C-alpha cells in the first residue's frame, strides 16, 4: 500500500524530493528510500550511526517529522547544495565597492538555493553628497533595483527561483520611497519588503508625536508619526506590501542579544537573523499525531510529542555539521551559534480532529499548550546534546538567561541551561510549509487555517489530455473515512470565513513560545474598511507578535479563489477557444504566419529585428517562436540565447504573457533610454515591449500590461470575489494561486514565489 494519502503527494515527492541521476533516472526507488537516504546522512556524524539512523528513519516515517524541502532533496545526495533555508547577508557598506561585493555574495548564496534577507538602511539616502566625486547619492532604492535584476538571472537549486527580503528602518530618510516602491508593478518583483518598526515609533504613533528621519547622526526632516504609519498601512491595504517587523521586540527577546543585533529576516519573515546568519527548518506534523480523531477523547500523547521533538532536534543539530554553505562567513556563523528552527504544520487539522474551531478561545489555549510543550522539549533536548557534545561556542549562561525569551521559560529549563549549557542558541520557528504539507497528504500549512477543504485539480498527461483529481484536506479525508458524506460540523472553518482577529489571536498564542518568529498571513476580506484594517496591525503589536503580514484581495493583488466543495462544473471562458496547456511542445508546421519588427535602440549602433511567428490552436492564434537578429556582433550570443529560450516557452503553449512582463522589468544598471516619450529601463525591456505589441495585435492579450484576452479554463471550480481578476501560476498556468504564510503558492503544482 502506498504511503501517500493522495496522488498529489506522490507527484510532489517525485518532482521535488526524490533523488534522481543527472539523466532523470530515479535513484530513490521508493519513498522509503528517500527517508532512509536522509536518515543515514544525518546520522553519519554520530558515534553510533546505525542506531541513530533507525531512530531518525522512525521520525520521518509516516510524515511525522518533516525536515524542510532542502534537507529532503539534498541530504545524502553528495551534491554541492546547502541544506539551510534561510540567510541574512552581511551588513551593506555605504560605499560603491562594498555594495557590489555584497551583490556578489548574494548571487553566490542564491545560486545554491538560499533565500536571503538584506537591511538597506545602511545605505545613505538619495541626494546625500558623495565625497570625492562631486555627485549626489542615488539612494538605497536604486541599488535594490540592481539586486532585483541579479535575482532574476539566478535559478536556485531544485529549479526554484531565489527569493529576497528587503528591510528598511522606519527612521531612514528614504522610508517613504521604500514604502511606495512596489506600487510600480514592474519594480522589485523579486523582493518582499518589510519596514523595521521600532518601539519609539509605535509610541509616537499612539501619542500622535512627530517623528524624525535621520541618517548618520543627521536629521533630514520630521513628519507626524501617524502620517508615516498611515502611509505604511495604506500601501499594504492596497498592495499587500510592505509588511511590518517589530524589530526592537525581536532584539529584546533574542537569546543572543548579548552577541548580535538583528536588522533583517529571511524572505518569509520567520527567521530574524544577524549578518551572515543562517537557519535550517523542520516541522512537527501535529495532524499525524492526533489519536482517536473526532472522538471525545481525541488528543496528542504528550510523551509521543516530546520523544519526536527530541529526535527532531538531534537531526537538525546534525544538519549544521552535514550541510555545505555558499560562503565561509555563513558556515562560521552557523557553527558559532548552531541556530535551528523547529516548527509545526497541520495545526489547523489537529484542532479540527479535536473538535476545536480555529481562532476560538479553546483553540488558542490548545495552540499555546502545544507550542509550550514543543519549546520545553526542544530546550531540554538541546541541553542533553550540550552534555554530550558541548554547548554552542558563544554560549554565556547569565546573559543568555537574561534575554526576554528566556525570562519566561520554566525554572527547571533555566536551571538545566545554567548548569549544563545548551547546544543550540535558538530552537523554534514556524516556517512556510506549503509544498511540504502537500507532500505530507495535504495537511493544513504551518499554523494557518485550512484554505479550502477540497478542490479539483486538473493534471496534464503526456499525450496532452487531462485527468481530474480531487485534492482533499487531510482532516476532511479522515472525516469522510469515518462518517461518509455527513455534513461537516460548524467548527470546520476556513481562511476565507475567519475574522482577521482570529488569525491574530492564533499567531500571538504560538509566538509566545517561539524563540524566532512565525510566517503567517492574516487574510482580510476585500471589503474590510481601512480603519478596521489598521486595527489588525495595532492588535498584533499589542498582543506581542513580532511582525504582521496581511493579504486583502483586490484588483492589484489579485483575487482569492472561493473553492466550491460541491461544484460539478467548471466556469467556461467568455469567448473564444480555451488556451491549450501542453506537457510536450507542438511540432512546427511547414509554414507559419508572423510579423517582423524593427527596433532601434538609441544607444546602439545597429537596429535589432524581431520576428514573431504564430500558430493556430483550437481556432485561436498564439505565439509559437521568436527570432532576434542584429548586425552588431556584441549582441550575438545573448540574442541567440534569448531566441531559443523564448521560443521554447512559447512552444509549450498556455499563458505565456509572463514572458513579456519579465522582459519589460529587466533593469540595466548602465542606464536605459527614452523611446517615444517613455523611459525604457533596458534593451531587453524594449524587446519585451515589441513582443507585447505583437500579442495585442493578434488578440492574444487584452492590452499593454493586461492578461489573456480569453482566459483558459480553470483547474478548479471557483468564484471570484469582487472585480479582481484571478492570476494564473507562472509555472503550470493553473488558476490555483493562494496567499499562504506570506507566499503566493500554487496548490496545483506546489510552485511558490518564495522558493
Of 254, 430, 249, whose CA–CA distance to 337 is shortest? 254
Catalytic residue among 266, 285, 424, 613: 266
User: Where are any strands of DSSP class E within 654-711?
Assistant: 673-675, 678-680
SS3 31: helix
Q: Quote the CA–CA distance of 380 and 414 in Å, as a whole number.
A: 10
* Beta carbons of 396 and 329 less than 8 angstroms apart: no
Percent helix / strand / coil, the chain, rounded to 5: 40, 20, 40
* Beta carbons of 320 and 337 less than 8 angstroms apart: no
Grid cell of 162 as nine digits = 531565489
**Integer distance in angstroms from the first to the last C-alpha of the chain?**
32
270 is an active site residue:
yes
Where are the alpha helices (H) located in 221-327, listed in sequence order? 225-239, 247-253, 302-322
230 is an active site residue:
no
Catalytic residue among 86, 268, 732, 754: 268
Grid cell of 400 as nine digits = 543568555
Q: Is the dihedral of CA 320, 326, 328, 332 positive or negative?
A: negative
Catalytic residue among 241, 260, 270, 692: 270
Where are the alpha helices (H) located in 462-521, listed in sequence order? 474-483, 500-511
* Beta carbons of 186 and 664 less than 8 angstroms apart: yes
CA distances from 232 to 201, 245, 527, 530, 549 (A): 13, 12, 19, 12, 12
Burial of 485 (C-beta count, 10 Å sphere; 0-12/13-18/19+): exposed
SS3 184: coil
Q: Quote the CA–CA distance of 170 and 213 in Å, as a whole number.
A: 8
DSSP assignment of 305-327 = HHHHHHHHHHHHHHHHHH-B-SS
Of 66, 160, 153, whose CA–CA distance to 115 is shortest? 160
Catalytic residues: 266, 268, 270
Amino acid at each position: 500500500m502506498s504511503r501517500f494519502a493522495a496522488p498529489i503527494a506522490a507527484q510532489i515527492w517525485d518532482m521535488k524530493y526524490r533523488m534522481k541521476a543527472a539523466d532523470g533516472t530515479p535513484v530513490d526507488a521508493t519513498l522509503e528510500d528517500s527517508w532512509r537516504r536522509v536518515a543515514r546522512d544525518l546520522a553519519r556524524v554520530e558515534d553510533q550511526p546505525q542506531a541513530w539512523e533507525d531512530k531518525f528513519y522512525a521520525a520521518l516515517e509516516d510524515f511525522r517529522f518533516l525536515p524542510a524541502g532542502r534537507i529532503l532533496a539534498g541530504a545524502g545526495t553528495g551534491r554541492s547544495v546547502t541544506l539551510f533555508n534561510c540567510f541574512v547577508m552581511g551588513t551593506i557598506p555605504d560605499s560603491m565597492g562594498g555594495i557590489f561585493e555584497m551583490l556578489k555574495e548574494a548571487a553566490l548564496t542564491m545560486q545554491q538555493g538560499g533565500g536571503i534577507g538584506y537591511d538597506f538602511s545602511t545605505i545613505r539616502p538619495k541626494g546625500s553628497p558623495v565625497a570625492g566625486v562631486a555627485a549626489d547619492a542615488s539612494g538605497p532604492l536604486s541599488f535594490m533595483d540592481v539586486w532585483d535584476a541579479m535575482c532574476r538571472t539566478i535559478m536556485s537549486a531544485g529549479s526554484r527561483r531565489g527569493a529576497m527580503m528587503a528591510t528598511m528602518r522606519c527612521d531612514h530618510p528614504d522610508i517613504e520611497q521604500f514604502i511606495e516602491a512596489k506600487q510600480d508593478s514592474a519594480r522589485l518583483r523579486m523582493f518582499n519588503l518589510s519596514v523595521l518598526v521600532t518601539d519609539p515609533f509605535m509610541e509616537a504613533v499612539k501619542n500622535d508625536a512627530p517623528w524624525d528621519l535621520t541618517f548618520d547622526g543627521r536629521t533630514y526632516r520630521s513628519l507626524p508619526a501617524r502620517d508615516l504609519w498611515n502611509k505604511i498601512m495604506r500601501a499594504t491595504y492596497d498592495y499587500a506590501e510592505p509588511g511590518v517587523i517589530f524589530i526592537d521586540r525581536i532584539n529584546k527577546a533574542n537569546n543572543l542579544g548579548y552577541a548580535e543585533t538583528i536588522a533583517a529576516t529571511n524572505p518569509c519573515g520567520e527567521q530574524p537573523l544577524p549578518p551572515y546568519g543562517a537557519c535550517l527548518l523542520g516541522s512537527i506534523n501535529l495532524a499525524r499525531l492526533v489519536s482517536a480523531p473526532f472522538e471525545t477523547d481525541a488528543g496528542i500523547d504528550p510523551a509521543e510529542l516530546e520523544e519526536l521533538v527530541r529526535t527532531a532536534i538531534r537531526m537538525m543539530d546534525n544538519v549544521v555539521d552535514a550541510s555545505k554553505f555558499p560562503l565561509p562567513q555563513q558556515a562560521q556563523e552557523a557553527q558559532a551559534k548552531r541556530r535551528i528552527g523547529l516548527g509545526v504544520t497541520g495545526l489547523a487539522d489537529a484542532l479540527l480532529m479535536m473538535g476545536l474551531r480555529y481562532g476560538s478561545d479553546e483553540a488558542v489555549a490548545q495552540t499555546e499548550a502545544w507550542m509550550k510543550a514543543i519549546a520545553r522539549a526542544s530546550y531540554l533536548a538541546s541541553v542533553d546534546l550540550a552534555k554530550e557534545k558541548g554547548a554552542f561556542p558563544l554560549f554565556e549562561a547569565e546573559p543568555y538567561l537574561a534575554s526576554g525569551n528566556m525570562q519566561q521559560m520554566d525554572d527547571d529549563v533555566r536551571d538545566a541551561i545554567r548548569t549544563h549549557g545548551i547546544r543550540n542558541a535558538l530552537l523554534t520557528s514556524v516556517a512556510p510549509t506549503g509544498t511540504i504539507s502537500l507532500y505530507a497528504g495535504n495537511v493544513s500549512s504551518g499554523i494557518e487555517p485550512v484554505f479550502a477543504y477540497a478542490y479539483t485539480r486538473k493534471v496534464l498527461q503526456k499525450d496532452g489530455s487531462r485527468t481530474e483529481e480531487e485534492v482533499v484536506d487531510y482532516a476532511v479525508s479522515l472525516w469522510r473515512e469515518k462518517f461518509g458524506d455527513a455534513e461537516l460540523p460548524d467548527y470546520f472553518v476556513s481562511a476565507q470565513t475567519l475574522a482577521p482577529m482570529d488569525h491574530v489571536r492564533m499567531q500571538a498564542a504560538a509566538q509566545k513560545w517561539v524563540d524566532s518568529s512565525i510566517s503567517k498571513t492574516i487574510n482580510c476580506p476585500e471589503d474590510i474598511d481601512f480603519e478596521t484594517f489598521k486595527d489588525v496591525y495595532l492588535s498584533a503589536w499589542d498582543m506581542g507578535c513580532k511582525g504582521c503580514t496581511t493579504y486583502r484581495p483586490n484588483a492589484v493583488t489579485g483575487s482569492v479563489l472561493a473553492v466550491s466543495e460541491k461544484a460539478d462544473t467548471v466556469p467556461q471562458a467568455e469567448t473564444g477557444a480555451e488556451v491549450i496547456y501542453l506537457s510536450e511542445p507542438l511540432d512546427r508546421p511547414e509554414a507559419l504566419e508572423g510579423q517582423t519588427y524593427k527596433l532601434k535602440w538609441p544607444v546602439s549602433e545597429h537596429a535589432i529585428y524581431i520576428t514573431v511567428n504564430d500558430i493556430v490552436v483550437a481556432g485561436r492564434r498564439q505565439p509559437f517562436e521568436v527570432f532576434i537578429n542584429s548586425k552588431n556582433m556584441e549582441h550575438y550570443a545573448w540574442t541567440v540565447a534569448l531566441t531559443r529560450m523564448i521560443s521554447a516557452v512559447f512552444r509549450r503553449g498556455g499563458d505565456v504573457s509572463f514572458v513579456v512582463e519579465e522582459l519589460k522589468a529587466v533593469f540595466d544598471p548602465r542606464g536605459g533610454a527614452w523611446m517615444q516619450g517613455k523611459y525604457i529601463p533596458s534593451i531587453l525591456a524594449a524587446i519585451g515591449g515589441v513582443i507585447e505589441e505583437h500579442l495585442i495585435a493578434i488578440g492574444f492579450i487584452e492590452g499593454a500590461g493586461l492578461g489573456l484576452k480569453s482566459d483558459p479554463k480553470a483547474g478548479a471550480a471557483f468564484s471570484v470575489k469582487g472585480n479582481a481578476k484571478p492570476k494564473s501560476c507562472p509555472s503550470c498556468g493553473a488558476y490555483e494561486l493562494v496567499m499562504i504564510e506570506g507566499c503566493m503558492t500554487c496548490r496545483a503544482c506546489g510552485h511558490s514565489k518564495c522558493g
